[in-house]
Structure 1
Amino acid sequence: MRAEIVTLALIVGAFTWAFRFLPTRADLSAMPRGGALARFLAATGPAAIATLFTASALPYLQAGVPLPLICGTAAVLASYALSRSVVGATMAGSAAYGFGVWMT
């Protein structure tokens, strides 16, 4: 294995760990609500979800849009729009995706 790849993997791994671990240890009580750091931290969750969705959906889209992807995505969007619950939307999307797999 090339040293550049190992070095890159270690750097990315270290920053991923720091990005996940350090906010749990930081005292954010004194942080202003409308500040730049607060907006950054609030935006990372949706950005991560969008990135993971795109990375998982692209292989499906190359072969055509399958029924499970349509069912799961529609269920997540509809459930979240109605309830504003991330947990409910996740559960509805999982159930709908499973139903779509069962139907095909």
Structure 2
Amino acid sequence: MRLEILTLALIVGACTWAFRFFPTKADLSGIKPDGVLARFLASTGPAAIATLFVASVLPMMKGGVPLPLGIGTASVLAVYAAARSVVMATLAGSVGYGLAVWLL
């Protein structure tokens, strides 16, 4: 492995660890609920989910959106819009994607 790749992996790993570890250990009782830090911390979860979604879906997008991916994503969005439940939306996306793969 090249030294540059190893160095980059270590830096990214350390930053990821720090980004996940320090907010759990910080005393957040003194921050304002509508302050900049509170808004930043509240937006990190959705931003991480969106990043993981794009990173995992992008390789599948060669030549258009495959049908199972479209069905799974539509299932997630529809169930979340109807029920406002992340758990139910995740399960619906998994079931929709799995059924589409199984039927094809």
The TM-score with structure 1 as length reference comes to: 0.91
Give the Cα–Cα distance (whole angstroms) in 2 for the partners of residues 29 and 102 of structure 1: 49
Are 2:14 and 1:5 equivalent residues in the alignment? Answer: no
Hey, what does 1:86 align to over in structure 2?
86
Give the Cα–Cα distance (whole angstroms) in 1 for the partners of residues 28 and 79 of structure 2: 31
Q: 1:1-104 maps to which residues of 2 (within 5 A)?
A: 1-104=1-104
State the secondary structure of the residue aligned to 2:33. Answer: coil
State the secondary structure of the residue aligned to 2:5. Answer: helix
* 2:15 partner letter: F
* 2:79 partner letter: S
Residue 83 of structure 1 and its aligned partner are, at CA, apart by 1.2
Residue 84 of structure 1 and its aligned partner are, at CA, apart by 1.2
Give the Cα–Cα distance (whole angstroms) in 2 for the partners of residues 66 and 34 of structure 1: 41
Give the Cα–Cα distance (whole angstroms) in 2 for the partners of residues 3 and 96 of structure 1: 42
Residue 61 of structure 1 and its aligned partner are, at CA, apart by 1.3
* 1:23 partner letter: P
Give me the CA root mean square deviation.
Answer: 1.2
Unmatched tracts of structure 1, length 5 or more: none
Residue 49 of structure 1 and its aligned partner are, at CA, apart by 1.2
Residue 2 of structure 1 and its aligned partner are, at CA, apart by 2.4
State the secondary structure of the residue aligned to 1:27. Answer: coil
Give the Cα–Cα distance (whole angstroms) in 2 for the partners of residues 27 and 72 of structure 1: 39
Residue 87 of structure 1 and its aligned partner are, at CA, apart by 1.2
Give the Cα–Cα distance (whole angstroms) in 2 for the partners of residues 6 and 54 of structure 1: 24
Unmatched tracts of structure 2, length 5 or more: none
Give the Cα–Cα distance (whole angstroms) in 2 for the partners of residues 11 and 61 of structure 1: 29
How many pairs does the alignment contain? 104
